[in-house]
């Protein structure tokens, strides 16, 4: 029997770890690996048009499955393109392995064609990054990388020169079985008692939950019931907290509701559960704050914390609940829910698409998507206003999933993440809420949808602007600049790529076009021309923002752009 080379052993090791596909773009330094995949039916090469897409798609797979996903890039520019998607995966804490192929090992240090230093470049966006320069390092270094990505829930990078990948392996089989990692961390009895003591003595408790609440829905509902506490959620916690939740009062933050903001500001104790919500201005200044997190390093870095508790949310709540005295005063909860109902009604009032209405409200588009989408649909959304509409109008139910670049905040994530999601779940609807700027940035991978035969549905919010950036400029009192987008006809571009292309120019066309796309058996794109002047207001308007908008309007009039001010006021006030 012929001995295996390192590339073949790499594939054996990935298969042993449960990997089913590798996302990437072929290149000469990857030839050994792609040739090994070519003759191996256990694993597939997912050919995309840009390596950034490969990394985002792998991150989406890891997010949805909780298991290891893999992407690869050829030497130099090829693997450099992975870096943005890897930053996103690492900050989202999903296990991704990147194979960064390298120039010939004997040329390293000579300023060779396409030479970079991957071990330095990828260090900041990974938990582990090492070079394999000798056959004896395989499969041990690869196995350490895999185990690190799984254990630390993040990115690991293996750098492999193309010539080394073709060397004869000194070991013939993988060494590890890669057991699933299910860790529970329980706080000490003393911490549980202190937490219970504070909560039992507090009159108005608000719970603020994030992605760390995944898997703890029942315990969270029981906790809120005992404490008579409203539950506010961060965006990454939406899919785990919002559904079947009578205590829900929405989100806070720049994307959130006034009700979520009020529930946090009006409490005397804030209980943070599994969230690293970054915006300091949305935390209460006078409340007692208890923070529960599985990662101790995160405690207290956003707000002054009176009690930090290291533990996973589910295990911590299971230990805490027997120590709590059920409250009888529900005034804080009732007031918070009433406020939420008013805020929710106000948002729903904006999501209208009346016959004869000249422009399309983006809120209406998101509302219709929510109504037409399947009960187990997977949504991906671009940053900026598409994320706002997803946060406010897509309803989670315990089966739906929502992905986006919520921690890293990168443009162009929706289409690549949809590719990974559809490959993992070929029988589920995968729907993007794409921005015109986001889609344009990685539009080449429309071709991947056709090549891979993926029935992804792309909904493009075309407002001919980098709308959220424009809004930030106006709020700061600046005239918007460099935010205009001279867009193509996205529907025609989709058709040219072999994707069904549809377009809605008026409200009456929105529902039928979305319904047609969702019923289409293959990939489809719906371009919706939405109002550019739609304001996405935060839950609390600060004085400096009021001053900023006033200053913007004065500057606009002085600079001959008064019509924009009129359009802005018409859209949002009348």
Active site residue 15: no
Domains 189-340 and 351-573 share a fold: yes
Write down the mean pLDDT value for the chain. Answer: 92
Residue 567 has pLDDT above 90, yes or no: no
Catalytic member of 113, 168, 338, 352 = 113
Q: How far is CA 237 from the centre of its chain?
A: 11
Catalytic member of 383, 424, 430, 528 = 383
Residue 560 has pLDDT above 80, yes or no: no
CA distance 463 to 448: 25
Query: If you average pLDDT over residues 531-550, what whole number do you get?
Result: 58
Angle, CA of 440, 444 and 445, to the nearest 5°: 105
Query: If you average pLDDT over residues 59-74, what whole number do you get?
Result: 98
| pLDDT score, position 544 | 56
Which residues are bridge partners to 457 per DSSP? 431, 524
Question: Per 3-state DSSP, what percentage of the chain is helix, strand, and coil (rounded to 5)?
Answer: 45, 15, 35
93-103 pLDDT, tens digit each? 999 999 999 99
Handedness of CA 35, 38, 41, 46 (dihedral sign): positive
Catalytic member of 8, 19, 48, 51 = 51
Instruction: Give Cβ neighbours of residue 109 (< 8 Å, ≥ 6 apart).
Output: none
Alpha helices in 116-188 (DSSP H): 118-121, 140-152, 162-165
Residue 556 has pLDDT above 60, yes or no: no
Catalytic member of 15, 107, 114, 557 = 114
The answer to whether the CB of 21 falls within 8 A of the CB of 183 is: no
Run of H or E including 352: none
| pLDDT score, position 539 | 56
| pLDDT score, position 342 | 96
| pLDDT score, position 325 | 98
| pLDDT score, position 559 | 47
Handedness of CA 64, 69, 72, 76 (dihedral sign): positive
442-471 pLDDT, tens digit each? 999 999 999 999 999 999 999 988 888 888
Q: How far is CA 253 from the centre of its chain?
A: 16
Residue 432 has pLDDT above 70, yes or no: yes
Q: What are phi and psi of 498, to 5 degrees?
A: 85, 20
Give the lowest-confidence range in 310-319, 464-473, 540-549: 540-549
| pLDDT score, position 554 | 47
Q: How many CB atoms lie within 10 A of CB 120?
A: 9
| pLDDT score, position 563 | 47
Q: How many CB atoms lie within 10 A of CB 170?
A: 13
More confident site: 1 or 393: 393
| pLDDT score, position 468 | 80
| pLDDT score, position 49 | 98
CA distance 163 to 175: 23
Run of H or E including 196: helix 189-201
Residue 188 has pLDDT above 60, yes or no: yes
Query: If you average pLDDT over residues 15-23, what whole number do you get?
Result: 97
Active site residue 424: no
Catalytic member of 56, 247, 468, 549 = 468
Q: How many CB atoms lie within 10 A of CB 484?
A: 12
Active site residue 114: yes
Give the lowest-confidence range in 47-56, 140-149, 168-177, 396-405: 168-177
Active site residue 383: yes
477-493 pLDDT, tens digit each? 888 888 899 999 999 99
CA distance 411 to 222: 38
Q: How many CB atoms lie within 10 A of CB 521?
A: 7
Residue 388 has pLDDT above 90, yes or no: yes
CATH of domain 189-340: 3.40.50.1220
The answer to whether the CB of 106 falls within 8 A of the CB of 170 is: no
Domain residue ranges in the chain:
6-165, 189-340, 351-573
| pLDDT score, position 574 | 41
Residue 168 has pLDDT above 90, yes or no: yes
Please name the fold of domain 6-165: Rossmann fold (3.40.50)
Please name the fold of domain 351-573: Rossmann fold (3.40.50)
The answer to whether the CB of 386 falls within 8 A of the CB of 393 is: no
Q: How many CB atoms lie within 10 A of CB 169?
A: 19
89: pLDDT confidence band, cut at 50, 70 and 90?
A: very high
């Amino acid at each position: 029997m012929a001995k295996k080379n390192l590339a073949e052993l790499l594939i054996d090791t990935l298969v042993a770890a449960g990997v089913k596909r590798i996302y990437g773009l072929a290149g000469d330094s990857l030839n050994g690996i792609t040739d090994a995949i070519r003759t191996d039916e256990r694993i597939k090469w997912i050919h995309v048009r840009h390596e950034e897409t490969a990394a985002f798609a792998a991150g989406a797979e890891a997010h949805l499955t909780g298991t290891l996903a893999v992407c690869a890039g050829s030497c130099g520019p090829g693997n450099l393109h992975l870096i943005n998607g890897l930053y996103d995966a690492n900050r989202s804490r999903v296990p991704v392995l990147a194979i960064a192929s390298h120039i010939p090992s004997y040329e390293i240090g000579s300023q060779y064609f396409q030479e970079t230093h991957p071990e330095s470049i990828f260090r900041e966006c990974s938990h582990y990054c090492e070079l394999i320069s000798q056959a004896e390092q395989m499969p041990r270094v690869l196995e350490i990388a895999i185990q690190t990505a799984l254990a630390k829930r993040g990115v690991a990078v293996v750098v492999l020169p193309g010539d080394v990948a073709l060397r004869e392996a000194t070991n013939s089989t993988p060494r590890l079985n890669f057991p699933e990692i299910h860790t529970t961390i329980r706080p000490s009895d003393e911490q549980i008692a202190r937490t219970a003591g504070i909560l039992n003595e507090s009159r108005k408790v608000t719970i603020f939950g994030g992605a760390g609440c995944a898997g703890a829905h029942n315990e969270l509902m029981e906790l809120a019931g005992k404490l008579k506490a409203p539950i506010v959620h961060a965006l990454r916690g939406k899919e785990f907290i919002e559904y079947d939740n009578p205590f829900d009062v929405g989100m806070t933050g720049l994307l959130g509701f006034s009700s979520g903001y009020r529930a946090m500001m009006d409490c005397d104790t804030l209980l943070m559960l599994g969230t690293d919500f970054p915006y300091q201005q949305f935390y209460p200044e006078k409340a007692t704050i208890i923070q529960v997190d599985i990662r101790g390093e995160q405690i207290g870095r956003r707000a002054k914390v009176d009690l930090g508790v290291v533990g996973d949310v589910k295990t911590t709540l299971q230990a805490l609940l027997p120590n709590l005295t059920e409250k009888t005063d529900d005034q804080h909860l009732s007031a918070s829910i009433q406020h939420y109902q008013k805020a929710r009604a106000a948002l729903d009032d904006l999501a209208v698409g009346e016959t004869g209405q000249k422009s399309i409200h983006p809120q209406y588009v998101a509302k219709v998507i929510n109504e037409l989408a399947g009960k187990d649909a997977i949504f991906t959304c671009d940053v900026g206003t598409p994320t706002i509409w997803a946060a406010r109008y897509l309803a989670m139910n315990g089966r739906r999933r929502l992905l986006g670049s919520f921690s890293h905040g990168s443009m162009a994530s929706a289409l690549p993440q949809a590719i990974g999601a559809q490959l993992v779940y070929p029988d589920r609807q995968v729907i993007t809420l794409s921005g015109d700027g986001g889609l344009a940035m990685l539009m080449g991978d429309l071709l991947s949808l056709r090549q891979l035969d993926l029935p992804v549905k792309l909904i493009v919010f075309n407002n001919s602007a980098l709308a959220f950036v424009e809004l930030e400029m106006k709020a700061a009192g600046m005239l918007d600049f460099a935010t205009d987008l001279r867009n193509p006809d996205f529907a025609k571009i989709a058709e040219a790529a072999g994707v069904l292309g549809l377009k809605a120019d008026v409200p009456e066309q929105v529902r039928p076009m979305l319904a047609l796309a969702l019923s289409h058996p293959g990939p489809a794109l719906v371009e919706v021309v939405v109002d550019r002047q739609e304001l996405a207001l935060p839950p609390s308007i600060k004085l400096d923002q009021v001053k900023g908008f006033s200053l913007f309007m004065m500057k606009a009039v002085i600079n001959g752009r008064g019509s924009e001010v009129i359009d802005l006021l018409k859209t949002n006030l009348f």
